[in-house]
Structure 1
Amino acid sequence: MTIKEIRKMSDDEMDKKILNLKEELFDAKLNLNLVKLKDTSRIRKIKKNIRQIKTIIREKEISKINNKNESLSSRDLNKSLVSSDSNESSASSDLNKNSVSSDLNESSSSSDLNTNSVSSDSNE
């Protein structure tokens, strides 16, 4: 069985194949112990096939997780861009409010000074 053939299989087919290979492995080990197995490399080949199928199953799981994370990260990136734009606009409006209020405070304090100077002039 080649890797290309395994990759074409569905998840259910791969699970069934693993079960069949495990049964075959059990039978091969049993026959080895009973001295009926002539091709002892068969055990190694069966184990190799099981490992290959499990590796491909894991690759598919990882790719699904990565695809989900990529879609989530792109959504998060878009959200962060939108929120940073709104934060920047609110920060700039806060700055404008602060500068207006400081301008008002300065003008009121200067008018207080003018009022005090006028009142002191009138007292003389």
Structure 2
Amino acid sequence: MIYEITSDGLLTLLGNQNMTFDETKEFCASIPGHRMAMTKKKTQIEVLKDLQKRAGGAEIWVDLVKSDVGLPIWGDGTPYNDTEASQVAKAFDEEGVLTVFRFVNQHFHDRIKSILCLPLCQANPLDNDEW
């Protein structure tokens, strides 16, 4: 498990046991002040790349889902294409009808919720604008 304040200023927890998407959301919400990771900024994508490298290239869940019209949106409703992340990490929609995304090979790829990936949670230890 990796649990540290990362270069984006957020307290980040990368679990070491694979979970489904829904299990990851529940796990992160069960830790006071934490949520499932939304890596919307370029600095957060760099953190995500580093964490994935340190985890041996493991697939990592992020709170990125498909909207009703099939476009990726973050868990808070922000369209993926309206964030800095879209400039540095492509969201691949290869599977068509699948509903959630995980980070693999430095990009976001869609999957079904039951696939097992590492959970990634965030908390804001300070009052900063990264949250």
Q: TM-score, normalised by structure 1?
A: 0.22
Point out the structure with the larger helix share.
1
Point out the structure with the larger strand share.
2
Q: TM-score, normalised by structure 2?
A: 0.21
